[in-house]
Amino acid sequence: MSSEAAAQTFHPRRDRREESRQPAGQVPWHTFLLASSVLVAVWIVGIVWYVINPLALSRKESVQVSVGPAVDFLAKLSPPGLAFGVRPPCTRLCSQGGSWNHSMSTIVCAISGTAPEQPVYSPKTGQVYERRLIEKQVQETGRCPVTKQELTQEDLCEMKVNKVVKPRPAAATSIPGMLTLLQSEWDALMSETYEMKTNLDTTRKQLSHALYQHDAACRVIARLLRERDAARTQVAQLQDQLSNSTPASAPAGSAEAETGLTPQILSKMEELAKTLAKSRKQRSFPDLNPLEEVKRLECKGSFPNIHQSSAPGVLCVDVHKVHPHRIATGGVDSQVILFDAQKSKPVQKMAGHSKRVTAVKLHPDKDVVASASQDATVKIWTCSRTTDWSSQYNCLHTIRKHSAEVTDLSIHPLGDYFLTASLDKSWAIHDFHSGRCIRHMQDLDSAYPCMSFHPDGLIIAGGTKDKTVVVWDVKEQATVTSLTGHEGTVQTLSFSGNGYYLASASDDGVVKLWDLRKPLNIQTLKVDGPVRAVAFDATGQYLAVGSKTVQVFNFATKTTLTEAAAFKEHTDSVTGLCWGPNAKTLASVSMDTSLRIYSNK
């Protein structure tokens, strides 16, 4: 064996010497294993102590745990490559000096029996309370609920104690126990959700029921309102009947009830006629709208649905002779509407007729409106305030002289009397002031769809269903002449302001111009469709004709009418026409429920 091999042979003593010559500070492996085992044991003991026995933290006496030297020893044994960045749980409670000293109190509220979150102490009673509980009791009763002694908030002293750590329940110390707690929470949540859904469904049903009740209540209220309005209308009609009823000895319609055209009345009419005839020859119209301006008339205002849309259609119109912005209309809805053209809106609605209003007239000097209806009545409406024409109108008189539909109205130039025509083959003259009938002409040859006073007031002309125009003398109440030539019912007529001419129209679309001095038909106009309205202006220079359209004719010569303008804005038959002063405005109504105003401004 060579010397090198012998040197490599194992020698126990040399090995031990070499082992003893290891560098200082290096820990043998078996010592490190022992230290690691002790460290793990300390970790386990700390975890068990922290998790399983938290009640030990609430003990009143101080606990001295001398673990500092052991921790320092373990730190020395730790090799340089092993760094304990986190200390064991038990060492987190250690104070400086390597010992743990902590004091906790087991304070219990005298009211709730639980550890208080904000404890207060009363030297007067010697009890400890939860602040919110004892303050509520003191405010309500002023006494301690335990000792029944009088107590105020000044008797309470705040206690400075550490925060109480509530112990964990025993069920939370293991995974099965925690699963049980989670299951209980889930069951409670599902139970609460089910109860919430049940309450929501109940609330929805209650809401649906309440909505149905609300809808039914609204329908009942609407029906009651309609019944109330109908009852009010009936009461108004009954009141009118009672106020206008005549004594039994002189019933309405009898000869004794009529005062007749007395000599005094006829004398006033004749004097006025002479005055008007004399002034007519001398009068001039410097402010009359010239033909060029009439040709340029435009629809400056269209007002649909001024009457109720449930009963569409406007049947008649009248414009005030002095104040052209005052317009009255009558409709299928049985109402009379007073319209203000300056404000472009209705200002009054007069309800009292039970059927459609066929004719309406504005008194030229007073705030009075007369209306005729299909219900065979005539109503006189007066304004409640003499200083404001647009104030409320009340029914002053209800005249029930006719037995069938009253078709037309005309006011005498005196302003004290008015004329009515009816389909009962009669006409009558009435007193504006008293509402009584002066003269009633009955049992005539035909019904009268239209009738009007002559501008002088001594002649009456009426169109009949027998296709003729009958002219009556007011003084004698007798027929003067009959104008024939129409091939249909004469629906409308109008006297010229000069007193010589009369225009009449029938439902066969024919307009005839008559010279009353001869009497002869001097011109015949053919228009498209039945004619429901004709109207001369106050000067007699222009004639408006309403059929499917509105046409304006002008006297090119003294006896010849020529068309000057045509307006096609209406979408249904034109039923009423009326000129304003000096032919500066023209109002028309139609079955299309609209009122239209034509002017140059």
- Look at residue 532 and tell me whether its pLDDT is greater than 90: yes
Q: What number of CA atoms fall less than 13 Å from residue 436's CA on the CB side? A: 14
Q: What number of CA atoms fall less than 13 Å from residue 109's CA on the CB side? A: 19
In this prediction, residue 559 carries a pLDDT of 86
Give CATH for domain 105-168.
3.30.40.10
Model confidence at 279, pLDDT cuts 50, 70, 90, reads confident
- Look at residue 407 and tell me whether its pLDDT is greater than 70: yes
Question: pLDDT tens across 175-233, in order?
Answer: 887 888 888 888 888 988 988 999 999 999 999 999 999 999 999 999 999 999 888 88
**What's the CA gap between 43 and 172, in Å, rounded?**
21
Q: Which of 389-393, 561-565, 589-593 has the lowest mean pLDDT?
A: 389-393
Q: Who wins on pLDDT, 160 or 106?
A: 160
In this prediction, residue 55 carries a pLDDT of 44
Cβ neighbours of 42 (radius 10 Å): 18
In this prediction, residue 303 carries a pLDDT of 92
**What's the CA gap between 502 and 493, in Å, rounded?**
7
In this prediction, residue 506 carries a pLDDT of 93
* Averaged pLDDT, 321-334: 92
Sequence-separated contacts (24+) of 548-551 with Cβ below 8 Å: 548/573, 548/574, 549/574, 550/574, 550/577, 550/586, 550/588, 550/598, 551/527
Question: pLDDT tens across 418-447, in order?
Answer: 999 999 999 999 998 888 999 999 989 899
- Look at residue 56 and tell me whether its pLDDT is greater than 50: no
Cα separations in angstroms, 35 against 42, 43, 81? 11, 12, 14
**Coil/strand/helix, residue 335:** strand
- Look at residue 174 and tell me whether its pLDDT is greater than 60: yes
In this prediction, residue 51 carries a pLDDT of 54
**What's the CA gap between 503 and 523, in Å, rounded?**
10
Per the prediction, the chain carries an average pLDDT of 82
Radius of gyration of the chain (CA): 56
Which residue's structure tokens are 């109480």? 164
* Averaged pLDDT, 479-490: 92
- Look at residue 172 and tell me whether its pLDDT is greater than 60: yes
In this prediction, residue 48 carries a pLDDT of 64
Q: Where are the beta strands (DSSP E) in 97-243?
A: 119-122, 127-130, 157-158
Which residues are CB-contacts of 80 (< 8 A; sequence separation ≥ 6)? Answer: none
Question: pLDDT tens across 101-147, in order?
Answer: 344 457 889 988 888 888 999 999 999 999 999 999 999 998 999 99
In this prediction, residue 408 carries a pLDDT of 95
Please state the φ and ψ torsions of residue 223, each to the nearest 5 degrees: -65, -40
* Averaged pLDDT, 327-333: 93
- Look at residue 74 and tell me whether its pLDDT is greater than 50: no
- Look at residue 79 and tell me whether its pLDDT is greater than 60: no
* Averaged pLDDT, 561-566: 93
**What's the CA gap between 399 and 275, in Å, rounded?**
31
* Averaged pLDDT, 151-172: 77
Q: Who wins on pLDDT, 11 or 407?
A: 407
Q: Sign of torsion, CA 207 208 212 215?
A: positive
**What's the CA gap between 261 and 280, in Å, rounded?**
26
In this prediction, residue 230 carries a pLDDT of 87
Percent above pLDDT 90 for the chain: 52
In this prediction, residue 49 carries a pLDDT of 59
- Look at residue 17 and tell me whether its pLDDT is greater than 60: no
CA-angle at 179, arms to 175 and 182, nearest 5°: 140
In this prediction, residue 473 carries a pLDDT of 92
- Look at residue 502 and tell me whether its pLDDT is greater than 80: yes
* Averaged pLDDT, 19-41: 65
Model confidence at 355, pLDDT cuts 50, 70, 90, reads very high
- Look at residue 239 and tell me whether its pLDDT is greater than 90: no
* Averaged pLDDT, 450-471: 94
> If residue 501 lies in a helix (H) or strand (E), which one and from where to where?
strand 501-506
CATH 2.60.120.480 fits 257-599, yes or no: no
**What's the CA gap between 38 and 426, in Å, rounded?**
135
Q: Who wins on pLDDT, 385 or 151?
A: 151
In this prediction, residue 360 carries a pLDDT of 96
* DSSP code for 531: -
Cα separations in angstroms, 522 against 487, 500, 512? 17, 12, 8
